[in-house]
Structure 1
Amino acid sequence: MSRSDPSDCRHPARSWVDNAVRLIEADTRRSADTHLLRYPLPSSWAGDVDVALYLKDETTHITGSLKHRLARSLFLYGLCNGWIREGTTIIEASSGSTAVSEAYFAAMLGLPFIAVMPATTSPAKIALIESQGGRCHFVTESAQVYAEAQQLAEETGGHYLDQFTNAERATDWRGNNNIAESIYQQMSAETHPVPDWIVVGAGTGGTSATIGRYIRYRRHATQLCVVDPENSAFSVAYRTGDLDAVTGVSSCIEGIGRPRVEPSFLPGVVDRMVSVPDAASVAAAHHVSNVLGRRVGPSTGTNIWGAFGLLAGMVAEGRSGSVVTLLADSGDRYLDTYFCDDWLRAHQLDPAESVEVLAEFERSGRWP
């Protein structure tokens, strides 16, 4: 008697989940890894010190941002835990790039997707989410998004992806082509293959958790720096040890910074935190956009500001090495905000002083 294929006995619900995982994996295989770009630092001020800055270009994901990785992991996490089935309504608390990427994966699997967001969300972001087949559900206060998303999931019998809790749980931090493993593989043939620093921002905390854990797991000498914008609770928690810290104010830099410490943020894997003024993030985003010849988003500006400071410290110490940070998303998403002079004036964001700091860094390699 011949043995039958075990798949022949699968319950129809399992067959749908198996196919959903296959679709996500097939999409991943069709996508090349994101580029690692070498930033053109001036050679004149380094002298005998050889320093290099690399940018992991997450804008090349099909949904245009770092959050594509997170969305993929959250869907696989929900599918493999039995929380997402055929017809499940997918709910998320997000008004930004995470929702855009999650709407993409929901559409791929034929699932309805609802993004819960403040009513003040820009029309451009709403349009991006809707272009991927998602629906937007609005609340009056940003702090309401968590409870409203959970309530919607209960009312619809759906699944709340909950990026802020599950970001550090859903990603396989030991490897499996996560962003940390990808960085080290791409750096392997460089002059300084093990970076002195990797610099990232924290929105959910998931990216810093993945990279910080991987560094320790692989016993690399790299240190992890998390850059944090004004009004974010993460830097307060890191400085005081109070994981219940709240600021009650939303960050002005989209994609990073939170008014509360999210469950996925793991301060124990962070070696240094740097608080970056909002105007400095904007100035650095404009600066890098000019250097690269294409716009980058404001959280990339935050990353760059932190990376430049670390590089200047290495130059001052006469220490050669490399620094890696992320191009998180495209600045084309922010034409009516961070790249609009009227919007910057309305939000009292004057980058002039920070522009001078950046110019001095490019001229001399020095940092305030």
Structure 2
Amino acid sequence: MNVQSIIGDTPLVELTTFDVPSGVRLFAKLEFMNPGGSIKDRMVDYVLADAERRGLLRPGATIVENTSGNTGAAIAMLAAARGYRAVLTMPDKVSKEKRDALRALGAEVVICPTSAAPDSEKHYVSCARRIHAETPGSFMLNQYDNPLNAEAHFRSTGPEIWEALGPAVTAFVASGSTGGTISGVSRYLKQRNPAVTSVLLDPVGSVYHRWFHHGVLDPAEIAPYFVEGVGEDHLAQCMDFSVVDDVLRFTDADAFAACHHLARHEGLLCGGSSGANVWGALRVAHSLKGPATVVTVLPDSGGRYLSKIYNPQWLSENGFGPGATSERDDDL
């Protein structure tokens, strides 16, 4: 047995402390229980295995990728296990815990300004592409535009959800950046039952919400937000809107409030994207009449955000007063 062999088959638990309509059940897949600590383990392992089979990734090569942290952790873990070098670029809003974890696994980390425009040389995606071009024999996953990203979830996450719940699944809800999770899982579930509803969650400051509803890509909408690993400042080719039925917009406060409820009442210490996913799942749950089952994923652990989401001083300094993350009964 090796580290790759224990990726996937994560537990699916029912969330029981939230106020939902009678007959509506809420389930969450604990993706932070993957060995690298996040849902990104699935995609990275799948893409690297494909690259190795096709001779695109050779022994001792360098893996280069842009990441908000979790993809980087998966790359660093698997690079160490398989004997590759890893060079990872990330925006400076990424938590210190994530940066330190990547370095501990032997990866080289290049920090780029979060404020850099998508077409700027300083943008973390542009930086990764430059390093890849300058490094002979290197391999770049290109997670935002690689169809294998969504295929990984079509072949693993989606089937696992269906195996556990089957036709009971009414809706799948998840935030997205690359779009791999929402696209792959939704495509699989809809193939099993076309009536399954798929809902993408998008943070204020990202472009997906307006693009989905109005077909407009407005640079003026791009703005900073604190939740990591979700939303985007450009359209990722991996995002398949043809399998998405609706896009809901959330705020940092929405996500963080759900995080605190998960920790204090469900015993689940999760990251901001998990909070966003649960907030969205609750919104969808309240639109349904039982019997119905809403499923989401908890992409990573709150242990990577102790200096931020779970730090009262950080919350206060960034405008999240006591009311911003307190449990609001009308929403949760």
TM-score normalised according to structure 2 size? 0.89
* Alignment partner, residue 37 of structure 1: 13
SS of the equivalent of 2:61 reads: coil
SS of the equivalent of 1:360 reads: coil
Counterpart CA distance in 1 for 2:302 and 2:129 is 31
SS of the equivalent of 1:285 reads: helix
Counterpart CA distance in 1 for 2:87 and 2:145 is 18
Counterpart CA distance in 2 for 1:50 and 1:30 is 34
Residue 139 (structure 1) aligned with residue 112 (structure 2): yes
Which of the numbers 284, 297, 310 marks the counterpart of 1:339? 310
Shift in Å, 1:228: 1.1
Query: RMSD between aligned alpha carbons?
Result: 2.4
Counterpart residue identity of residue 336, structure 1: S
Q: Structure 2 vs 1, CA of residues 161 and 248 (structure 1 numbering), >3 Å: closer, same or farther?
A: same
Superposed, 1:18-97 pairs within 5 Å as 27-31=3-7, 33-41=9-17, 46=21, 49-97=22-70
User: Comparing both chains, which one has the higher relative contact order based on Cα–Cα distances under 8 Å and sequence gaps of 6 or more?
Assistant: 2
Q: Structure 2 vs 1, CA of residues 30 and 274 (structure 1 numbering), >3 Å: closer, same or farther?
A: closer
Query: Residue deviations 1:63-110, cap 9 Å, x none?
Result: 111111121122123223332111211001114111001111111110
Residue 181 (structure 1) aligned with residue 159 (structure 2): yes
* Alignment partner, residue 288 of structure 1: 262
2:43–2:153 CA contact under 8 A, matched in 1: no
Greater shift after overlay, 205-214 or 31-40? 31-40
Shift in Å, 1:175: 5.0
The list of structure 1 runs, each at least 4 consecutive aligned residues, that deviate by more than 6 angstroms after superposition, is none
Residue 239 (structure 1) aligned with residue 194 (structure 2): no
* Alignment partner, residue 117 of structure 1: 90
Shift in Å, 1:140: 3.8
Shift in Å, 1:209: 1.0
Residue 148 (structure 1) aligned with residue 124 (structure 2): no
Counterpart CA distance in 2 for 1:174 and 1:345 is 37
Q: Structure 2 vs 1, CA of residues 285 and 111 (structure 1 numbering), >3 Å: closer, same or farther?
A: same
Query: Residue deviations 1:254-287, cap 9 Å, x none?
Result: 1111122212111121011110111111111101
Counterpart CA distance in 1 for 2:232 and 2:25 is 31
Shift in Å, 1:247: 3.6
2:31–2:299 CA contact under 8 A, matched in 1: yes
Superposed, 1:156-195 pairs within 5 Å as 156-157=135-136, 158-166=138-146, 168-172=147-151, 176=155, 178-188=156-166, 193-195=167-169
Counterpart residue identity of residue 306, structure 2: L
Residue 230 (structure 1) aligned with residue 200 (structure 2): no
Counterpart residue identity of residue 142, structure 2: D
Counterpart residue identity of residue 191, structure 2: Y
Structure 2 regions of 5+ residues with no counterpart? Answer: none
Which of the numbers 276, 283, 294 marks the counterpart of 1:323? 294
Counterpart residue identity of residue 124, structure 1: E
Shift in Å, 1:148: 1.4
Q: Structure 2 vs 1, CA of residues 330 and 174 (structure 1 numbering), >3 Å: closer, same or farther?
A: closer
SS of the equivalent of 1:313 reads: coil
1:296–1:327 CA contact under 8 A, matched in 2: yes
Query: Residue deviations 1:285-313, cap 9 Å, x none?
Result: 10111112231111111011111112122
Structure 1 regions of 5+ residues with no counterpart? Answer: 1-22, 363-368
Counterpart CA distance in 2 for 1:360 and 1:224 is 24
Counterpart CA distance in 2 for 1:31 and 1:209 is 20
Shift in Å, 1:326: 0.9
Q: Structure 2 vs 1, CA of residues 65 and 246 (structure 1 numbering), >3 Å: closer, same or farther?
A: farther
Q: Structure 2 vs 1, CA of residues 251 and 164 (structure 1 numbering), >3 Å: closer, same or farther?
A: farther
- The number of residues matched between the two structures is 325
Counterpart CA distance in 2 for 1:120 and 1:52 is 35
Counterpart CA distance in 2 for 1:54 and 1:121 is 28
Counterpart CA distance in 2 for 1:342 and 1:354 is 13
Counterpart CA distance in 2 for 1:238 and 1:360 is 27
Shift in Å, 1:194: 2.6
Identity of aligned residues (%): 26
Counterpart CA distance in 1 for 2:200 and 2:322 is 22
Q: Structure 2 vs 1, CA of residues 174 and 59 (structure 1 numbering), >3 Å: closer, same or farther?
A: closer
Q: Structure 2 vs 1, CA of residues 88 and 165 (structure 1 numbering), >3 Å: closer, same or farther?
A: same
1:65–1:328 CA contact under 8 A, matched in 2: yes
Judging by fraction of residues, say which structure has more helix. Answer: 1
Counterpart residue identity of residue 82, structure 2: L
TM-score normalised according to structure 1 size? 0.81
Shift in Å, 1:156: 1.2
Shift in Å, 1:243: 5.7
